Amino acid sequence: MNSLEQRAKAFATQVHQNANQLRKYTNAPYIVHPAAVAELVRSVPHSPEMIAAAWLHDTVEDTQVTLDDIAQRFGTVVCRLCRNAD
């Protein structure tokens, strides 16, 4: 089974790609931003749920994914962290 982080990274990558999102100014795939946030969170004391939420933090705002989807796939802790990221 994949780790929580691996599942969150794969899910975020797919939903941002499906939404045809690109970064402003660079036109890089949008996932470069959540990747940078995940690395920033990794640089301080963190939990697996915090890293997963870093990967997922823009999915509700920028895609058709809901907080209920996040809770069902990744648990209530990750969902709460994503909700607080707004």
CATH number of the domain to which 18 belongs: 1.10.3210.10
Token pair in block for residue 70: 């996040």
Determine the pLDDT at residue 62: 86
Total domain count, the chain: 1
Nearest to 60 by CA among 50, 70, 48: 70
Rounded percentage of the chain residues whose pLDDT exceeds 90: 66
Mean pLDDT of 27-45: 92
Token pair in block for residue 82: 């994503």
| Spatial distance between the Cα atoms of 30 and 12, rounded to a whole number of angstroms | 10
Half-sphere exposure of 63 (CA within 13 A, CB side): 24
Tell me which residue range forms the domain holding 73.
Answer: 4-84
pTM: predicted TM-score of the whole model, two decimal places: 0.90
Q: Which residues are known to be catalytic?
A: 61-62
